[in-house]
Amino acid sequence: MTNPNGLVIDVFQFTDAERFIELNAGAQELIFQSINDVVAGRANVTDRLRGREQSLIHRREARIKPVVHCDNVASRRYTIVEIVADDALGLLYRISRVISKHDCGVDLVLISTEGHKAIDVFHITKAGAKLTDEEQRTLADDLQRMLEES
């Protein structure tokens, strides 16, 4: 996405398996407008996702028990948080909200979806440093709780 100054804010790539863009005239413009509205503060992501999450189409039983694992050994610079959970609408948004509430910064995210299973790895720091053992426990507990409640 490019801001008014022409700077790249972030790059997203996705697969449109349902061919939404191809089958709906103006769909691409609608998607870009939605993103622009959220970035400009004219729309709230939480409100937009809430309606979609509550629809009957997106409700289903959990297939796998979510797992959250924090690691301070694998990287010299980051605490690595690995999450395995059912893929769901708004999953990354909910995860990032929990990480943000813990005042952590995300430097790198590796995202993979295998069928209905999401495997997400976050390289995070807090105030430029790895998380303490206690910070890891509270973050992991909050992430686990959020995943089990969704």
**pLDDT over 70 percentage in the chain:** 81
Q: What is the pLDDT of residues 78-129, one digit of tens each?
A: 999 999 999 988 899 999 999 999 999 999 999 998 888 999 999 999 999 9
Q: Check residue 1 and give its pLDDT.
A: 47
- Whole-structure pTM value: 0.65
Q: Check residue 34 and give its pLDDT.
A: 82
HEC assignment per residue over 2-34: ECCCCCECCCCCCCCCCCHHHHCCCHHHHHHHH
| pLDDT-wise least confident of 6-20, 39-53, 57-71, 73-87 | 6-20
Q: Check residue 96 and give its pLDDT.
A: 94
Q: Check residue 105 and give its pLDDT.
A: 94
- Average pLDDT, rounded, for the chain: 84
Residue 10 has pLDDT above 90, yes or no: no
HEC assignment per residue over 37-57: HHHCCCCCHHHHHHHHHCCHH
> What is the set of domains in the chain, with CATH numbers?
1-43 (no CATH), 67-149 (3.30.70.260)
Q: Check residue 135 and give its pLDDT.
A: 98
Q: Which of 115, 69, 109, 72 is nearest to 92 (CA)?
A: 109
Distances in Å between the alpha carbon of 44 and those of 21, 39, 49?
Answer: 23, 9, 9
* Contact assessment for residue 124 and residue 105, using Cβ atoms and an 8 Å cutoff: yes
Residue 54 has pLDDT above 60, yes or no: no
Q: Count other Cβ atoms within 10 Å, centred on residue 94.
A: 20
* Contact assessment for residue 116 and residue 63, using Cβ atoms and an 8 Å cutoff: yes
Q: How far apart are CA 23 and CA 16, in angstroms?
A: 11
Residue 55 has pLDDT above 70, yes or no: no
Counting every residue written for the chain, the total comes to 150
